[in-house]
Amino acid sequence: MRVDYQYFLEATVRAAIAAAKSRGKGDSKASDAAAVDEMRAYLNGLSFRSRVIIGEGVRDNAPMLFRGEVLGIDEGELCCDVAVDPLECTDCCAGNKNGAISVVAVSDIGGLLEADDVYMYKIVYAVNDAIPHEVDADTSLEDILSIVATSKGKKISELCVCILNRKRHHGIIKLLREMDVTVSLIDDGDVLASIMAVMPDFDIDIYVGVGGAPEGVISAAAIKGLGGVMHAKMLHDISSETEIDKALLKQYRNMTLSDLSKDESAVFIATGITDNAMMKGVIFEGENVITESIVIEVATSKMMKIQIKKRAK
């Protein structure tokens, strides 16, 4: 990638600090707006320009950086595409619950899918061996569970599948429990949950379900960098209450990880706002503020954890 990721690390750090100032105050929109404003102001001051190809917020009428918005000084060169969510898990920040992050995926121009703020069905997992046959988002969940279990030397009943606790997932959850799979229900935060599904440090074997397409594209850069597998379908015309089943999913086009994130130099960056399984939240310590971030580079397949201490404004 032509641009140093440190610029975008600074963007998530600043947005995280801005949001954390209203952490636990119960106003998710105010926290989101603070994060958005801080990220926009910082990126607008850079000497190069970035194009926003995903700006989360349309589905829930939240403050956002707009798709197609170009940030940076006017005479600067257009260098990269960015997919952003300055405050992922707004309710977690408002309630001071675990899971709120500020997150960016950045690539060369055209390196990430330009996705509308609609829903996406996704299945994410890691395997230790080559997949024995062609698998996509139309492959039955039973078959994918069997593939993952065989690869990891586990029984299907020993697998843990993570899914958002939503009414639309009732059928999937019922199927998983009928197969005696451990089901880990989460209220929010499918970006981190899907990444954890491809990391050996966590007990999640598969992430499945319908969440936001923006979150799907953002997490795809990290999943690619960590060598994971992701199958997806963009669901352009469903509501949050639409029950998900095989017949519905068959109507939509299969997408691969490379469709979502094709740039081999893309970078995923997240900074904790509240504590979560992968990083600590923002800590205000006297005149200082401490942040913890993760950076995942596709080119090197490397994940770094970075702690930054700076003077509080």
Establish whether 74 is an annotated binding residue: no
Nearest to 170 by CA among 232, 230, 244: 244
Contacts of 174 (CB under 8 A, 6+ apart): none
In the chain, helix, strand, coil percent, each to 5?
A: 30, 30, 40
Establish whether 166 is an annotated binding residue: yes
Establish whether 190 is an annotated binding residue: yes
Establish whether 188 is an annotated binding residue: yes
Establish whether 160 is an annotated binding residue: no
Establish whether 88 is an annotated binding residue: yes
Question: Helix, strand or coil for residue 80?
Answer: strand
Establish whether 69 is an annotated binding residue: no
One DSSP character per residue, 205-230 reads: -EEEEEEEHHHHHHHHHHHHHTT-EE
Establish whether 27 is an annotated binding residue: no
Burial of 291 (0-12, 13-18, 19+ CB in 10 A): buried
Establish whether 80 is an annotated binding residue: no
Establish whether 259 is an annotated binding residue: no
Tell me if 110 sits within 8 A of 259, measured CB to CB: no
Establish whether 167 is an annotated binding residue: yes
User: Assign residue 14 a region: left if phi > 0, alpha if psi is -120 to 50, beta otherwise?
Assistant: alpha
CA 26 to chain centre: 23
Establish whether 10 is an annotated binding residue: no
Only one residue has tokens 């706002």, namely 273
Establish whether 187 is an annotated binding residue: no
Establish whether 168 is an annotated binding residue: yes
Contacts of 306 (CB under 8 A, 6+ apart): 9, 292, 293, 294, 295
Establish whether 227 is an annotated binding residue: no
Identity of the amino acid at 11: A
Known binding-site residues equal: 32, 56, 85, 88-90, 119, 166-168, 188-190, 212, 215
Known binding-site residues for Mn(2+) equal: 32, 56, 85, 88, 215
Known binding-site residues for substrate equal: 88-90, 119, 166-168, 188-190, 212
